[in-house]
Structure 1
Amino acid sequence: MEVFNMILGKHIGESQNFKYHNKCETLKISDLCFADDLLVFSYGNGNSARVIRNALDEFKTVSGLKVSTEKSQIYFSCVKPNMRRIILGILPFDVGKFPFNKSLSFAGRLQLINSFLTFIHVYWASIFQIPIATIKEIEKMCRSFLWANGEKVKGKAKVKWNDICKPKAYGGLGVKNLRKWNDALLAKHVWNVVNNKNYLWVQWKKSMSWTWKRFLEIRKIVRPHIVACVGNGRSTSLWHDWWHPLGILCSIISRRDWVSNGFNDSSLVSDVLVYDTYFWLVDWVDKFPGLKDAPMFCIKPNLRDVVGWRDKDASCVAHIWKERNSRIFSNRRITAEGLIACVENEIRMKLLGLRNKAKLVNDKVYKEVAALDGDGHQLYEEGEFPVED
């Protein structure tokens, strides 16, 4: 529709005879479109109708899309009968009647759902966990509007709603899944709680027992995406935080084993950390190989623990995009092994919160890879590898 808008604007600008509708002349409005529905406005004379017809013909030539005369209508207001016949000879559409009452097409209804109906609840969804019954009622309204134009009848839906909510790349229509959207909005607040941020929202949530319990239900969704970087171990849960290479230990070692050996849900990593060494029961070490391994990420023992968001995909995309630009615009390249090393170092430095150090590490990796090129040539000169924040 944007292409047609440009074509129509070009024809109007080139024509000396086109006249705007008297209610649209001030703003120079010639057409309005929503999804695949289009309204064209003009003064009721033959010259203006010819400009519109010429624009439609050019649009057909450019896009291959022909105007459907069966689905199109023309509306007159205060136009004399003789002039109506002239206009209908130029634009042979059916004559519509006022009041204007055209139903949106399927694409138009889908666009309205994506742009408006599914966003009505966003404000409340970013504060509370919306009850399942409320979400089902909203989805019911969207479903009936999409398939039956708002009529509450059964048997009209042709595809399951879960499939409609899938991304377009996976065969869906890209409609928001309201439950997952609600969880994603609340995940930001979970992050604030995990970081012990003194936000008023966090303090208010903790003071409301019912809301707090409902809010904590999404912990299992967010937890796999958060990792702990161990320092002194005094703020990282031994069982419920992901700090060990094996994973979250509560999913590996049974609760009965904790209690029988003097541990509980409040146990911290510092409880098994003595002088930079981790002490585990012999039976556990034999039963769970790899338990004696060091934490995935650690910092100096005199520093407090920090948490990080697992963003491997984002780091991969950034480095791959940088390498792509380097190859296209600077005719420089790095091996796959060097690129992987840069990504791994970037992730580690982000989790440690040392972004400045990441620059130095990545520069060093680039230089080492360049120096060890298979042909023995120096691909890069010193200082040519700035790393962006």
Structure 2
Amino acid sequence: MLFCHGEKKSFSFLVRALKTFEKVSGLVANSEKTAVYCGSMDSTKKEETLGSYDFIMGDFPFKYLGIPLNAKYMLSSDFDSVVDKMLARITCWSSRNLSYAARATLINFVLMSLHLYWAQCILLPKGVMHRITQLCRSFLWDGAVVLGGAPPISWDWVCKPKKYGGIGVRDCSRWNKAALGKYVWKIAKKEDTLWVKWLHSIYLKDQDWWSYSPKKSDGWFWRELCAVKDELRQGFEIGNWISKNYKISDCYDWLQGPQEKTIANWLGIAERNFRLNVSWKHWKRQGMDMIHKRVYLAAFSACGYYIWFARNHAFWEKAFSFGGFCPITCHCSPCVLLVLVLLLGFLFSTGGLLSLSTLQGTAAGCLLHYSVMLFVYLMGCSLFLGSAGVDC
């Protein structure tokens, strides 16, 4: 790509440089494959500048190395090719019976990778980011292009790392800003590249990069990059990223904010060491919705189960076999029947079937599922042991 001012004299110098290159190297610029793009020029000035040359007049936006370029602000419609690729992939996958884990893997490693190259070059419009997030959310929960109802978990929770209760899906908007932070780092380091030198000579002009404010007449990309710089400034100061190689992952983690293990906080358990016979009364008085109450009761029952299990293990290990998925396996058929009755009664009376189907594949759903199983075994085995005259 060659650039010049939008005037006849500057353009003639550019053509003269091409002819000089032709005489030296023997390579001729094909006028039929060479296009001229004019920004902020009226039709009269265009004809005056290009009238005597046989170059093709191109229109904005045009693609260069796969990225659309425009003299003005990029519209959401200019990025339809990325959205169309995602739609094609989801349409192909929607006919397959995929689990939540498989969908999350496809989102992270296939769908999100389709826009990574674009996100490292320009700041994508909010409308495009919203559309990408919408497609990923719909595919994760329904396996289709359109989401049939409200998602069971907010997208912010889905984008949290797995160790903090999320699914680990990448937040495309934050990742886009973290990727552009690479250019902020290059400008701050005054890297020895032609682009950075041009920016310092045209825009910055020996001004401090962190206190610089762009003019309203500056290009839209430069103004967007300065906005990203202002947003990431605190992260550069805290993380001291200037003194080391810039990593997108470090900036992305900082943009996500401090993470905490949230299952205990979500249940309202803030104490590390607590007395079970006192804390449960405090939890019971807390205002909780129905999902909170069910998960809390299941978790509380699981705690009771492990206390009971530790107390009676030494006395009852001969009556139970340990192994497989379940912690204990009762060999008495009346007890098994009682467990099944309790399980069905719990699910139908409390709406457990709805909760399990709604939260399936999530951290809360897994906790609810396994805790309910432990609760049922605890109740069934306790009743059986009580009827046998054993103190439990």
- After TM superposition, the score normalised by the length of structure 1 is 0.32
- After TM superposition, the score normalised by the length of structure 2 is 0.31
The one of the two structures with greater contact order (alpha-carbon pairs below 8 A, sep at least 6) is 2
The structure carrying a bigger helix percent of its residues is: 2
